[in-house]
Amino acid sequence: MTTQEMQAAFEEAYGRKAEKIFFSPGRVNLIGEHTDYNGGCVFPCALSFGAWLLIAKNADGVLRFRSMNMEQVYEIKIDAIAPQPNRAWCNYALGCIDIIKRRHPDAELQSGYDLLYYGNVPAGAGLSSSAAMEVVTARAFTEEMAVCDQDSLPFGYPDEKAYRTELALIGQACEHEYAGVMCGIMDQCASAQGKKDHAIYLNCDTLEFEHVPVKLDGIKVVISNTHSPHHLDSGAYNDRVRQCHTAVEQISKVKPIKFLAELSEEDWKEVESAITDPIAKKRARHVVGEVARTAAAVEALKRGEIAYFGELMTASHVSLRDDYEVTGPELDALAEAAWQVDGVLGSRMTGGGFGGCTVSLVKDEAIERFKAFVGSEYEKKTGLKADFYVAEIGDGVMRL
C-alpha cells in the first residue's frame, strides 16, 4: 500500500485530502520476554511495517475514525471522549487523545478531526500492531494539541529522546486504561525510539536505553506467524503480572526488592526458598534467568558472537515454555521445527505469547529450506499454515 493509495482512500472517505500523514512501526523482540513489567531489560527492534495515520481537521467538533483494515466506523464528539464498548478498535486512539489531555493540562483539541488508519502488521501476531497504532496517534495529536511554535517539540520537551519517551508513556497508559492490558513499556518504546539497523537495549524501570547495531553478516531475522492469534486481554497475561507481584512480596520478606529484575542468578539461589507459591516461583525463575540471558545476548552481539546469541534465544524459549508457560502448542511447534534446520542459529517465541510469532536467526542459504521444513512440520502438527517474513529493522515513529 503506497501513501498515494492511502490518500485516495482518505479522499473517498472524507471528500478531501489528508493534511498530514504519520507512520509508526511494529516491533519484534529479539530476547528479553516478560521482563519489562518486572523492571528488567529487553532487546526489541522496530520493523519496517507498522501503522499509518492520515488526518485532517473538520469544523464539526467530532472525531471520525475509519480504518482500511476494519469495517467499523466511529464518530465521537470531542467533548465526550470515553472508552467505547465491545472492544472497539478506536479505543487505542481515543485513549491516547484522552491521556494527552490529562497529562498536559494546556493541551486541547482545537477542532474535530477526520482520521484514517492503515496497518500492515499482522493483527494478533504479537508484533505490536496496537502499540504502533497508539504511538502513531500520540505522535499526531501531541503535535496537533501542543501549545508551541511550529518548529518546537510539543510541550517544550528538551530533546527528541525525551519527547519520544513521552509518546511511549502515552501509549502504555492507553493500553492500561482503554484496553485493560497491564503491559510494560517495551512495545511502545520500540515503536517510538526505533532506529534503522539497530536494536534497543532498554531498561524498562528507568527507561534508559542504548541503540545497539545489529550486524548479521549472511544471517537474517525471520519472523514466523502461527496464525493462532494471541489475546493479551484474555486474562492470562494479567495473571502473570500478578504472579510476579506475589513472588516479589514473598521475596521481600528476606530481601527487600521492588522488581524481580533486581535479583542476580546468585541472589536467586539465596532467596528462591522464600517463595511458597509454586507457580509464582516458576514465574520468578524465568524472569531472573531471562534478565541474565538478555544481558549476555547484547554483549554477544556487540562481540559478533552470533552463534551464542542464537543459543540464548533458544534457551529463552525453553524457559518461556516450561517456567512462564506462555508458549502453547503452536509456538512450540514452530520453534521445535526451527531448531532442527541446519543453518538456524536460534529460535524463540516473541511478544506476549499465547499465540503470535516466533523470531529466528537463519543463515541466508538456509532461508528457503527453513520456510519449507518449518512450514510443513507446523502444518502436520497443528493443521495451520504459517507465514514467514524476512524482517527489516527500521526507524521509529515519524511524520511523513
383's CB contacts (< 8 A; 6+ apart) are none
Cell numbers for 64: 471520525
The values of phi and psi at residue 295, to 5°, are -60, -45
26 three-state secondary structure: strand
- List the catalytic residue out of 36, 98, 114, 187: 187
Residue 61 and residue 53 in contact, taking contact as beta carbons nearer than 8 Å: no
Sort 57 into a burial class: Cβ within 10 Å, 0-12 / 13-18 / 19+. middle
CA distance 61 to 296: 53
What is the number of other CB atoms lying within 10 angstroms of the CB of residue 37?
23
CA distance 233 to 194: 25
Estimate to the nearest angstrom the gap between the alpha carbon of 340 and the chain centroid: 28
C-alpha closest to that of 33 among 359, 380, 386: 359
C-alpha closest to that of 28 among 272, 389, 319, 276: 389
Cell numbers for 368: 528457503
208 three-state secondary structure: coil
275's CB contacts (< 8 A; 6+ apart) are 246, 247, 250, 251, 281, 284
Sort 22 into a burial class: Cβ within 10 Å, 0-12 / 13-18 / 19+. buried
20 beta partners: 55
Whether 187 is catalytic is yes
Active-site positions read 187
